[in-house]
Amino acid sequence: MTTRTLPFLALAAALAVPGQAAAKAGDVNAKLLATLVAPDGKLKDATGPLVLPAGTQTKADDNVVPTVAIEYYVTDAISIETIAGVTQHDVQGTAPAALAGAALVSNANIVPATLTIKYHLGAEGGIRPYVGVGPSYFIFIDEKVGSDAAALGATRVKINDKVGLALQAGIDVPVGDNGLSVTLDAKRYFMRTTATFYAGQTEALKTRHKLDPWVVSAGIGLRF
């Protein structure tokens, strides 16, 4: 990721105009971003009538999606930001060898509702790094049983919505003097959730997973 983003950042810095007006209390910054969502998905625990093989492990796949962020400046240096987007993931087995690549959960749509409080550094009108922290609430929608889990008799799966914590760091690089900027942003979420597999109306297996996704974004912002 570093080798790809450095040339992009260098270009943005070259285009930056130092004289751009600094953000002020009451300003709104709207951002359109391309976002990589890279969850962990590691299995932490499993209970139920169905017994998993010793050493069973899982992994969720990555996805790139468009997102929108809206930021409001409470003061010249402190802002509140929320993001909107939907990301879709599958969960597969990784161990033991017999489960490697097994499709367990398919097309789990996640709405990662997040609100962060950000503190902005940097000189007035120039490049502004920032850090942030805040709560998140992951909403899971229309998740489906993977083909291999279905072959074992699972007919339905439900992943619980969960509250977590997000840490954030990034940089805004002004471009021109009209409030336009280039944004690079990284968030690390800390979150656990459970997936319950059913065979008909009977609960067959409940698994607990470490999600803890990295969410890395790049895009443009317009402050007004």
Pick the CATH number of 2-223 from 3.40.1360.10, 3.40.50.620, 3.40.718.10, 2.40.160.20: 2.40.160.20
Predicted confidence at residue 2, as pLDDT, reads: 44
pLDDT at 97: 92
**CA-based nearest residue to 186, from 167, 173, 205, 201:** 167
**Adjacent-strand bridge partners of 133:** 117, 167
Mean pLDDT per 10-residue run, the chain (224 residues)? 43 44 86 97 92 92 97 96 96 93 95 96 86 97 95 94 97 90 97 95 95 97 93
Q: Is 191 exposed, middle or buried (0-12, 13-18, 19+ CB in 10 A)?
A: buried
- CB 28: neighbour CB atoms within 10 A? 14
- Contact between 87 and 67 under an 8 Å Cβ cutoff? The reply is no
Tokens of 10: 């260098």
Query: b vs e for 35-51, b when ≥16 Cβ sit within 10 Å of the residue's Cβ?
Result: bbbbbebebeebeeebe
pTM, 2 dp: 0.85
Cis peptide bond prior to 96, omega within 30° of 0: yes
Query: Which pLDDT belongs to residue 7?
Result: 41
